[in-house]
Structure 1
């Protein structure tokens, strides 16, 4: 019995000495860095505005005789939109023409009498003055008649009308709004600490709730040289193409000002980054052994970290299990997601 008890420890030691029971190198998960586009962005919020926006209004008073458009219609510059009752204007124009005709005949008669010596220069001058006044009256009557026809000042889309046929309109009364939808303007603000980073011609991208996951690109066209004294921010205006008219004036948008683009940035999984005090490291596998390198991080996005310095892009970075292996230690590695 005593001999058996002494044999058990010897047998256990023998088994542990066998290769099958020897400690295996730790298992780690690795991944290769990827190349992708990374941007430095300044994110803020703004509003869309029409490139041109005007409210169609009459310059003279009168009864609305007819409307020549439908609400929401696309129109061309110069298209007739509204006709006011022009009966009085046409009568005034006919009267002005008759007065001009009489004034011209009177002037011709005064000239003939002056040449014959039957009249003096004063009579001729008075006849000429009456002729010029009659011409001015005719031009005024023609202008009044023209203002009874209200036309679109430029191409665009009409909004909702505020009047009906038969209404008596006053000068300046709202009839309908006209909007230019391509391109659109984007008005937004940036804080004073970011003013030096923004300039005319810079690329911007906007996103709206109506089209989730989609971004629309444009460029900055103007900067307000004066900062707001209350919020200490600078007003900026960009321009966005809108050929398909999907974007609408008045929409609230998220604006990203593209400060810098790096199309071949090096990205690694965030879990591969090892913080040590104020420094950052990664553990990589070289010839089956662990090697630790110091890195400098740029952007972080969607579980990825941009490596600005410290890696070439061909290494195998340890993403899981780096806590179990120190520098120089042998490890076994599997692809990320298989551990």
Structure 2
């Protein structure tokens, strides 16, 4: 006689599995790849651009010169401020040294000290100005867009260039607010890249702090696990997020 218990257990398992499948569905979500770091560099001073060593798409290292202004006048003003500061400091030392001979007063010593302090402040101000003459890379990366050309005159606030650090790529997307209960940091999903046709395993690393009241969505940031060859910032893709059926 054949036992029916195994068949009953199999039927129960199959029924449970079908109920589980029927209770969830996949919601397609569009995503994009973004650089690990990016920033727009703007002019902090007024001047003519004389150095622009990197073109769009070219890579640079942290600390490399990205742009330089013609600062002959500013540098000469710095040299003048340094000379004035040195002279004022020397004068203060001499006046203070005369006190032991009782040929100067405390007021004269104090005024000389204030004069030296003012000259030093002017020197520091010019040092800060000259530092604005050149822009150095804050991180390893590439030039994404150039908004100026050599010999162009820029004013404070002029957009100069956009730079990105694409040594690592993040996945960003906005998920519907009703998916919030099903999103967790550390959760993994499969990413389908449109441009390459490849699939990549990804993991959620950060969720938005709140839900946008207009779009009723929450920002999600993920990172790609494993091979990233051939991927570029700006590429788009699709993912499937599972959600329980209402």
Give the CA deviation at 1:201: 1.2
Q: Could you give the per-residue CA deviations for residues 106-140 of structure 1, whole angstroms, max 9, x where no partner exists?
A: 10111012222111111111111111111111111
1:147 and 2:132 matched? yes
1:236 and 2:225 matched? no
Alpha carbons of structure 1 residues 241 and 126: separation in structure 2 relative to 1, 3 Å: farther
1:113 and 2:104 matched? no
Specify which of 236, 253, 265 is matched with residue 237 of structure 2: 253
Counterpart mapping for 1:68-79 below 5 A: 68-79=53-64
Q: Match for residue 103 of structure 1?
A: 88
Alpha carbons of structure 1 residues 243 and 56: separation in structure 2 relative to 1, 3 Å: farther
Count how many residue pairs are aligned between Structure 1 and Structure 2: 221
TM-score scaled to structure 2, two decimals?
Answer: 0.81
Name the CA distance, whole Å, in 2 between partners of 1:73 and 1:245: 18
Name the CA distance, whole Å, in 2 between partners of 1:141 and 1:157: 31
Q: Could you give the per-residue CA deviations for residues 193-234 of structure 1, whole angstroms, max 9, x where no partner exists?
A: 32111111111321122122x212221111113222234332
Q: Match for residue 92 of structure 1?
A: 77
1:56 and 2:41 matched? yes
TM-score scaled to structure 1, two decimals?
Answer: 0.60
Alpha carbons of structure 1 residues 231 and 96: separation in structure 2 relative to 1, 3 Å: closer
Give the CA deviation at 1:63: 0.6
Question: In proportion to residue count, which structure has more strand?
Answer: 1
Q: Which runs of 5+ in 2 are unaligned?
A: 1-20
Name the CA distance, whole Å, in 2 between partners of 1:59 and 1:149: 10
1:166 and 2:139 matched? no
Alpha carbons of structure 1 residues 192 and 101: separation in structure 2 relative to 1, 3 Å: closer
Q: Could you give the per-residue CA deviations for residues 255-299 of structure 1, whole angstroms, max 9, x where no partner exists?
A: 23589xxxxxxxxxxxxxxxxxxxxxxxxxxxxxxxxxxxxxxxx
Alpha carbons of structure 1 residues 87 and 237: separation in structure 2 relative to 1, 3 Å: same
Alpha carbons of structure 1 residues 244 and 199: separation in structure 2 relative to 1, 3 Å: closer
Question: In proportion to residue count, which structure has more helix?
Answer: 2
Q: Which runs of 5+ in 1 are unaligned?
A: 1-37, 260-339
Q: Match for residue 14 of structure 2?
A: none
Q: Could you give the per-residue CA deviations for residues 71-113 of structure 1, whole angstroms, max 9, x where no partner exists?
A: 2111111101111101011111110111011101110111012
1:134 and 2:119 matched? yes
After superposition, the CA RMSD in angstroms is 2.4
Q: Larger Cα Rg: Structure 1 or Structure 2?
A: 1
Name the CA distance, whole Å, in 2 between partners of 1:242 and 1:96: 55
